[in-house]
Structure 1
Amino acid sequence: MNANDSIKIDELNKPYFVWFEENWIHDDVLHYHQKGQLVYVESGFQYITIEEKIYLLPQNHAAWIPSNIIHKTNSHSEKIKLMIMFADTDKKNPFYDEVNVFSVPPVLREMIKYAEKWSKHLKEDRNETLFLKVLFNELPHFVEHSLKLHICLPKDKRLTKVIEYLHDHYNKEIRLEDLGDTALLSFRTLERIFKKETGLTLSKYQQMLRIIKSLELLSSGNLTISETAYEIGYKSVQAYTRSFLSVMQERPSDFIKNINVSVEKGIY
């Protein structure tokens, strides 16, 4: 939420509320809303912490956050454009009870951009209500193939130093067997506890850290694909491309192409 937040979302007497900012400022504080919310990153990149999982939203990605879910937002981007849309949701549809992070398809992107005309409107508008009702009714269909761009923060305190080490050295060659000493556990025990807590093996966790960091770098436009690959610890562009493809279901070149297309169309 904006650090200068003066709008009390849950006090608004309207089913939907649109909030767009050219330069979103974060207070990095855990909070929740009675309404569900759709967070769309127009430019920059955004981190959202939801129930001890850290999600990444690169450019042209969005997240659906269910109502009453504790979360916080923060970003390392110098400037970030965000559209947040709050909505009363259909309690009968289980989709609205789950967190989803997904690449925004062209039709939804245009709908989100059109809704910017109602940004910060405090009074209910019939046209706004009708339009956003359609948008949110179709939202489950837009995210059918959503990606899992998140990493979990384990609750087991024995893993704290291991997580810190992985985050600090994700781009280095790590002898994973040695991490057992960091946690004062055998490697076999560490691997078992780590996967139970995070849903990932140690090597997969490192891979996710690398790919998430590479999305930041690619979104900034300051590094080439080759430079990005070496910056995050891969020894070849081919190895990075294979890893990126397995996580993102597209190649780094496709990811950049989508960003460039958006820029050419004036979306960013």
Structure 2
Amino acid sequence: MNPHNTIAIEELGKPYFVWFEENWRHDDILHTHEKGQLVYVESGFQYITVDGKIYLLPQNHAAWIPPGSLHKTNSHSEKIKLMIMFADVEKNSVFHHEINIFSVPPVLKEMIKYSERWSKSTVNDPDEMIFLQALFNELPRFVEHSLKLHISLPEDKRLSKPIEYLHKYYQEDIRIEDISEISLLSLRTLERIFKKETGMTLSKYQQILRIIKSLELLSSGDLTISETAYKVGYRSVQAFTRSFQSVMQSKPTDFVKTTQ
């Protein structure tokens, strides 16, 4: 069931379907597909919610969304170039039934770009099928060293106010005592529930929020690395770079928007 599809992808009788947009617009509705889905961000940045977790896709990153996963995509970028590719996958393929977020290597980037020629094509083309079969077959090799950059929104209602506070004031020096007060929970209870629900500590969650926000700012191209560091709450560029590298396993300069 997909309430927002303008093209009934499942009814086309094609194993693969390519959809490219220069300026993608989303309606932010949770839905599922019978096919698996590869989402590639050429420029801009994209948030994807899959089965209750929020993933960030900076430019030149892709997400593999398994068939049947409840998901929605939305973006705060003013302009986003996006490629979405749907594929039938084998039931016994472990890889194709797990979410993966990964940086796109040059060879895959070229393959995705080449696939644009079949964008929105509803006809069965043997060349398209052979090419895309090779692309999806190689995906597991492309994502061997993938990085899952995501935050999980907690289901426990007691964490609603703390999460809201963290998202609003992530750039401030947040004291855990203040969050404990807001949530009406003891420090110990707050830390235990937070770790159980999100898989990370409060300070780690704040760090991830800062890095995610910095990726938004860097991909917009409006701020320098130094300005970005201070904007998201770091007191020095060195501290920001260290934090960024520990999360992203690459440097902030790799994500600075360059004019083509």
Q: Common fold, TM-score beyond 0.5? A: yes
Gaps of 5+ in 2: none
- Superposed CA offset, 1:147-206 (max 9, x none): 121100001000000000000000111112221111111111101110100001000000
- Does residue 217 of structure 2 align to residue 181 of structure 1? no
Q: Give 3-state SS (helix, strand or coil) of 1:54's partner.
A: strand
Mark the CA change 1:113 to 1:82 in structure 2 (over 3 Å): closer, same or farther.
same
Q: Is the 8 A contact 2:229 2:236 kept in 1?
A: yes
Code of the residue aligned with 1:53 in structure 2: it is: K
Q: Give 3-state SS (helix, strand or coil) of 2:40's partner.
A: strand
Question: Could you tell me how far apart the structure 2 residues matched to 1:131 and 1:121 are?
Answer: 14
Match of 1:54 in 2: 54
Code of the residue aligned with 2:56 in structure 1: it is: L
Match of 1:24 in 2: 24
Code of the residue aligned with 2:238 in structure 1: it is: Q
Q: Is the 8 A contact 2:3 2:31 kept in 1?
A: no
Q: How much does 1:5 deviate? A: 3.8
Deviates more, 1:180-189 or 1:200-209: 180-189
Match of 1:44 in 2: 44
State how 1:112-127 maps to structure 2 within 5 Å.
Answer: 112-127=112-127
Code of the residue aligned with 1:98 in structure 2: it is: E
Match of 1:108 in 2: 108
- Does residue 207 of structure 2 align to residue 207 of structure 1? yes
CA RMSD of aligned residues (A): 1.4
Mark the CA change 1:89 to 1:3 in structure 2 (over 3 Å): closer, same or farther.
closer
- Superposed CA offset, 1:108-140 (max 9, x none): 000000000000010111000000000000001
Q: How much does 1:9 deviate? A: 1.3
Normalising by structure 1, we get a TM-score of: 0.94
Question: Could you tell me how far apart the structure 1 residues matched to 2:70 and 2:93 are?
Answer: 20
Q: Give 3-state SS (helix, strand or coil) of 1:72's partner.
A: strand
The structure 1 segments of at least 4 consecutive aligned residues displaced by more than 3 Å after TM superposition are 2-5
Code of the residue aligned with 2:139 in structure 1: it is: L
Q: Is the 8 A contact 2:4 2:29 kept in 1?
A: no
Match of 1:229 in 2: 229
Match of 2:165 in 1: 165
Question: Could you tell me how far apart the structure 2 residues matched to 1:23 and 1:219 are?
Answer: 16
Q: Is the 8 A contact 1:152 1:198 kept in 2?
A: yes
Q: Give 3-state SS (helix, strand or coil) of 2:47's partner.
A: strand
Identical positions, percent = 72
The number of residues matched between the two structures is: 259
Normalising by structure 2, we get a TM-score of: 0.97
